[in-house]
Chain A
């Protein structure tokens, strides 16, 4: 053992690991035993207040070496690390604080915000819910829920909590109003959102986020001149701001003024302003539209690489492989014959599952279908994933999904699938998906095809529309957009290809083992012959053809996913065979994808 170099914790707190993240279980000393350290903690606090950071830090480290669970010292050290921008350490310290003092609203709030900031939405939600449990009348607790559920694509629930904030605080805080406006925009309630943005800007015109959000609303609502007017005004308040510049570039891009858009982004680069990952991807997409493909690819690559550095997101290879292998092992013909199926409810609207890899055309199919008077749009419903998480509890199983389905063999769980089905349908109602006259609704959560087996058990008669697209076009799209679906596979090109193939193999397995109401639909066919494809889909769904479906771009419903800018334009075939422009860049993943490309009947030669 090396006694001279202390084994510092990898989180960067400055503490030894054994006093920090690797503290042995049950080693906690009673607070009473270290009370003589309180004066040191007080000195640290005082030093920190006076700006004597080094002293405060030294004192905290000393105290925590002796008493790692002293909350006061942990709090000060957390503040210091946060101020230093050391996010890993700050987060680790915050987690320890929340663990030591679970009823502390302040630290719970902080942790939830950090998690939200780095995109760990599911975990953020856990802490936000705790915040509401700790302080059910506290506006900030509800604000957390509002922000997180809006991001988690459950805006209806988020809206409830934002309105609670307004109620509880008794004021119309401009930030909350802007947050609520963003939420309503995500629900497609553009006019209400616009009114709230106007109210917010009137009170607080100098909030950058509000201005950008307002611009995005107008852009999404296709009022590009209005968006540019807001940007002109914001530019006078925040001259040279990179966020505004990017927002302007996005608007100009949608107005097909690509040259100006790219010039704006490049201008930001030459002004020595570092572009973030999203800016880089946006730049790449604009370059793509201008036909500068190699430059576009370089921008994507840089954006992806930067995103990996900043978020630490990488494909969860082992977790993905593990789950997919277990699904393949569980859902086999012989076992499926012994499992019950949920019965079919006839008293509530029924789902249509639109399956597909992100960026394969699922939004297009949903927009098309939901233009039909009897079909409501559910968007990306996170519910199947939720069911996989709560299944062990709902079925009282010691096992995880999918093995927990073995409980269906028990006498007291024969109706377990009906309960899970009802959970799904009830959440759908809560999310406000259903509208008058609709007898069906869509659920287009990408990669739900991973769970075809479960869907087949829960909704044995629900149509599954699997949107297929040339795998190389999907890769181009995945590389030029950010999404976290599929175990973060889109963090890199190689992992996106790997995950795509794994899922397609699993789909093939399910279809070989089960009777499924499954229809593969090619994105390319929809583009080439929209009416024939739409008719085939509606035939399969069991609804009569409606001409409204062909004019889906007039469907004013706003789809919140990355594809929205495309589905508001009439069908165009520029999105077909894009991969040919990137053939050389895609070379490394072709060996991975070739078998699936062939199986699906796509070609590899230009």
Chain B
């Protein structure tokens, strides 16, 4: 997963207040058993920390019925609501907890993260600053503040906050990672890559691989032994950093790659003679290992020397023939075929910022002479059913079985318009024309302020000029499509 664990921290508070709660709930009349508030809260905290959110929620409702202004219960209920995916409810509860006069830095730190997730960046930075003022020696407050600054594209402040956090706690992985993202986005890749290595040490991050006694590869030649690459993070990362596989291949006798099944078609093309495996049980012996996402560091990549031997991915001719026929049946030849993807995987921690809703793309539907070909996969595919703009939208996502299909379709389409998702990388790696819609604070790899990218010469970037403001981005693309200007020269 790109970006790794949830960036901001959401912690539960310690307990203290003394009170009792009477076990009376609406509707039912169970025996009246007074429970000390402390004990009740302890139970709720325990339930929350073990992931039993529904039970925790019931317990907290029960406490709040008796003590509706109990700040800690309100706050904890907010945390639980957040964990249950109910952002607005969480915010209401946390705001109430603050309203009842409890001015804990922890509360401000948590609500700042919530504001950030909900896209209220002004409130988020206000709350984060307040948390930092209340607890100037707490590096986590500074770390969260750094992340919020990143999302406001205040990179100087972000670097400052993470530096201050690291002055207090030099080995705080989250602060290093926040610093890495700001440096990389700014184009300071030499230092950025080093800080980026902290990503595996962030609490809650999925380990790269099972424990091993082999060393991490440092880019030196491996004679007569196998180098293991782990195709880590999201599919887009694998496609993007897959370009380094030939480079790594030249530096070892044999190559093995651990990957998920979906990535097999892509990796087979990049490493025809490598051992590809999808289960650790099948891992061959190896001399050293490296994360695929770590190769740009080892190769000494800088914005001006990005290896871009495009195309480095090519579709399967048989699939291209099949999809050519299918699309000819579905889309009249006279219309330009524009691929669209409006959402990434909902599980991605930045999905709220990077994905949009299909109806947002309505201005594209007014461009004459085009047909939109939806390559959308996953839970948001269903939105295709609600498209009623003038340009037809053909939902081929429903017939895409794997990335082989996606590559073949990209080869047949005139171009692709997409949010920041793996298929953007696929199109770029194939040298297909592609327009990418980026959130205000994009992923570091897209750098700042430019419409092109050193990673993919056929890609054009359309950036939000203010957080969550997609309309101008989409209007810009619609204008360019209508003017038939290609994504990149």
List CB contacts (< 8 Å) of B152-204 with chain A. Answer: none
Please name all residues of chain A whose beta carbon is closer than 8 Å to the beta carbon of B382 when the two chains form the complex: 508-509, 512-513
**Once the chains are docked, how many angstroms separate the CA of A461 from the CA of B326?**
8
Q: Does A47 contact B (CB under 8 A)?
A: no
Q: Does A274 contact B (CB under 8 A)?
A: no
Please name all residues of chain A whose beta carbon is closer than 8 Å to the beta carbon of B329 when the two chains form the complex: 344, 460-461, 517
Please name all residues of chain A whose beta carbon is closer than 8 Å to the beta carbon of B387 when the two chains form the complex: 511, 520
A515 and B394 contact, CB distance less than 8 A: yes
Partner of B388, one of A468, A512, A536: A468
B398 and A333 contact, CB distance less than 8 A: yes
B376 → A minimal CB distance (Å): 10
Q: Does B331 contact A (CB under 8 A)?
A: yes
Please name all residues of chain B whose beta carbon is closer than 8 Å to the beta carbon of A515 when the two chains form the complex: 326, 330, 394-399
B335 and A511 contact, CB distance less than 8 A: no
Q: Does B383 contact A (CB under 8 A)?
A: yes
Please name all residues of chain B whose beta carbon is closer than 8 Å to the beta carbon of A542 when the two chains form the complex: 332-334
Partner of B395, one of A337, A507, A512, A520: A512
Partner of A539, one of B335, B383, B401: B335
Map CB proximity to A onto B270-301 as digits: 1 under 8 Å, 0 otherwise: 00000000000000000000000000000000
Please name all residues of chain B whose beta carbon is closer than 8 Å to the beta carbon of A460 when the two chains form the complex: 329-330
Residue of B nearest to A463 (CB): B332
**Once the chains are docked, how many angstroms separate the CA of A181 from the CA of B401?**
56
Query: Given contacts A539-B334, A540-B332, is CB(A601)–CB(B388) below 8 Å?
Result: yes
B330 and A514 contact, CB distance less than 8 A: no
Partner of A333, one of B381, B383, B394: B381
A599 → B minimal CB distance (Å): 6
Residue of A nearest to B330 (CB): A517
Q: Does B390 contact A (CB under 8 A)?
A: yes
Please name all residues of chain B whose beta carbon is closer than 8 Å to the beta carbon of A461 when the two chains form the complex: 329-330
B327 → A minimal CB distance (Å): 9
Q: How extensive is the interface on chain B, given as a class? A: 20 to 34
Please name all residues of chain B whose beta carbon is closer than 8 Å to the beta carbon of A525 when the two chains form the complex: 390
Number of interface residues of A (CB under 8 A): 31
B262 → A minimal CB distance (Å): 16
Query: Given contacts A517-B394, A518-B392, A519-B392, is CB(A512)–CB(B332) below 8 Å?
Result: no
Partner of A507, one of B330, B381, B385: B385
**Once the chains are docked, how many angstroms separate the CA of A520 from the CA of B389?**
8
Q: Does B211 contact A (CB under 8 A)?
A: no
Q: Does B384 contact A (CB under 8 A)?
A: yes
Please name all residues of chain A whose beta carbon is closer than 8 Å to the beta carbon of B369 when the two chains form the complex: 539
A337 and B386 contact, CB distance less than 8 A: no
Please name all residues of chain A whose beta carbon is closer than 8 Å to the beta carbon of B384 when the two chains form the complex: 511-512
A508 and B385 contact, CB distance less than 8 A: yes
Map CB proximity to B onto A413-424 as digits: 1 under 8 Å, 0 otherwise: 000000000000
Query: Given contacts A337-B401, A536-B390, is CB(A511)–CB(B395) below 8 Å?
Result: yes
**Once the chains are docked, how many angstroms separate the CA of A525 from the CA of B388?**
12
B331 and A508 contact, CB distance less than 8 A: no
Residue of B nearest to A525 (CB): B390
Please name all residues of chain A whose beta carbon is closer than 8 Å to the beta carbon of B399 when the two chains form the complex: 337, 515
Residue of B nearest to A332 (CB): B398
**Once the chains are docked, how many angstroms separate the CA of A598 from the CA of B443?**
35
Please name all residues of chain B whose beta carbon is closer than 8 Å to the beta carbon of A541 when the two chains form the complex: 332
Residue of B nearest to A599 (CB): B386
List CB contacts (< 8 Å) of A440-476 with chain B. Answer: 460-461, 468
Q: Does A600 contact B (CB under 8 A)?
A: yes
Please name all residues of chain A whose beta carbon is closer than 8 Å to the beta carbon of B383 when the two chains form the complex: 512
Please name all residues of chain B whose beta carbon is closer than 8 Å to the beta carbon of A517 when the two chains form the complex: 329-331, 392, 394
B71 → A minimal CB distance (Å): 40
B10 → A minimal CB distance (Å): 34
A336 and B388 contact, CB distance less than 8 A: no
Please name all residues of chain B whose beta carbon is closer than 8 Å to the beta carbon of A357 when the two chains form the complex: none
List CB contacts (< 8 Å) of A529-562 with chain B. Answer: 536, 539-542
Please name all residues of chain A whose beta carbon is closer than 8 Å to the beta carbon of B330 when the two chains form the complex: 460-461, 515-517
A334 → B minimal CB distance (Å): 10
Please name all residues of chain B whose beta carbon is closer than 8 Å to the beta carbon of A539 when the two chains form the complex: 332, 334-335, 369
Q: Does A300 contact B (CB under 8 A)?
A: no
**Once the chains are docked, how many angstroms separate the CA of A518 from the CA of B385?**
10
Q: Does A579 contact B (CB under 8 A)?
A: no
**Once the chains are docked, how many angstroms separate the CA of A510 from the CA of B390?**
19
**Once the chains are docked, how many angstroms separate the CA of A517 from the CA of B395?**
9
B394 and A520 contact, CB distance less than 8 A: no
B398 and A508 contact, CB distance less than 8 A: no
Map CB proximity to A onto B364-388 as digits: 1 under 8 Å, 0 otherwise: 0000010100000000011111111
Residue of A nearest to B383 (CB): A512
Residue of A nearest to B377 (CB): A333
**Once the chains are docked, how many angstroms separate the CA of A542 from the CA of B329?**
10
B300 → A minimal CB distance (Å): 45
**Once the chains are docked, how many angstroms separate the CA of A333 from the CA of B399?**
8
**Once the chains are docked, how many angstroms separate the CA of A513 from the CA of B383?**
10
With a 10 A CB-CB cut-off, give which of A512, A522, A525 has the most chain B CB atoms. Answer: A512
Partner of A599, one of B326, B331, B388, B401: B388
**Once the chains are docked, how many angstroms separate the CA of A336 from the CA of B400?**
12
**Once the chains are docked, how many angstroms separate the CA of A520 from the CA of B333?**
19
Residue of A nearest to B335 (CB): A539
Partner of A516, one of B326, B334, B388, B394: B394
B364 → A minimal CB distance (Å): 15
B468 → A minimal CB distance (Å): 22
Residue of A nearest to B392 (CB): A519
Please name all residues of chain A whose beta carbon is closer than 8 Å to the beta carbon of B335 when the two chains form the complex: 539-540
Residue of A nearest to B362 (CB): A601
**Once the chains are docked, how many angstroms separate the CA of A309 from the CA of B105?**
73
B332 and A516 contact, CB distance less than 8 A: no
A514 and B392 contact, CB distance less than 8 A: no
A512 and B385 contact, CB distance less than 8 A: yes
Residue of B nearest to A461 (CB): B329
A520 and B396 contact, CB distance less than 8 A: no
Please name all residues of chain A whose beta carbon is closer than 8 Å to the beta carbon of B331 when the two chains form the complex: 517
B372 → A minimal CB distance (Å): 12
A472 → B minimal CB distance (Å): 16
A93 → B minimal CB distance (Å): 50
With a 10 A CB-CB cut-off, give which of A333, A522, A599 has the most chain B CB atoms. Answer: A333
With a 10 A CB-CB cut-off, give which of A509, A539, A599 has the most chain B CB atoms. Answer: A539
B9 → A minimal CB distance (Å): 37
A178 → B minimal CB distance (Å): 46
A540 and B392 contact, CB distance less than 8 A: yes
Partner of B386, one of A333, A468, A508, A514: A508
**Once the chains are docked, how many angstroms separate the CA of A515 from the CA of B327?**
10
B105 → A minimal CB distance (Å): 44
**Once the chains are docked, how many angstroms separate the CA of A501 from the CA of B110?**
43
List CB contacts (< 8 Å) of B326-372 with chain A. Answer: 326, 329-335, 369, 371
A525 → B minimal CB distance (Å): 8
Please name all residues of chain B whose beta carbon is closer than 8 Å to the beta carbon of A512 when the two chains form the complex: 381-385, 395, 398
Please name all residues of chain A whose beta carbon is closer than 8 Å to the beta carbon of B371 when the two chains form the complex: 540
Please name all residues of chain B whose beta carbon is closer than 8 Å to the beta carbon of A518 when the two chains form the complex: 392, 394
Residue of B nearest to A533 (CB): B390
B103 → A minimal CB distance (Å): 43
B385 and A510 contact, CB distance less than 8 A: yes
Residue of B nearest to A507 (CB): B385
B37 → A minimal CB distance (Å): 44
A243 → B minimal CB distance (Å): 43
Beyond known contacts A508-B385, A508-B386, A517-B330: 6 more, CB 8 A cutoff: A460-B329, A511-B385, A514-B395, A516-B395, A540-B335, A541-B332
Point out residues on A near B: beta carbons under 8 Å.
333, 336-337, 344, 460-461, 468, 507-520, 522, 525, 536, 539-542, 599-601
What are 21 pairs between A and B in contact, CB < 8 Å? Answer: A333-B381, A337-B398, A468-B388, A507-B385, A509-B382, A511-B384, A511-B386, A512-B382, A512-B395, A513-B381, A513-B382, A514-B395, A517-B329, A517-B392, A518-B394, A520-B388, A525-B390, A539-B332, A539-B335, A542-B334, A599-B386
- Closest 8 interchain pairs by CB? A508-B385, A461-B329, A512-B382, A511-B385, A512-B385, A542-B332, A515-B396, A519-B392
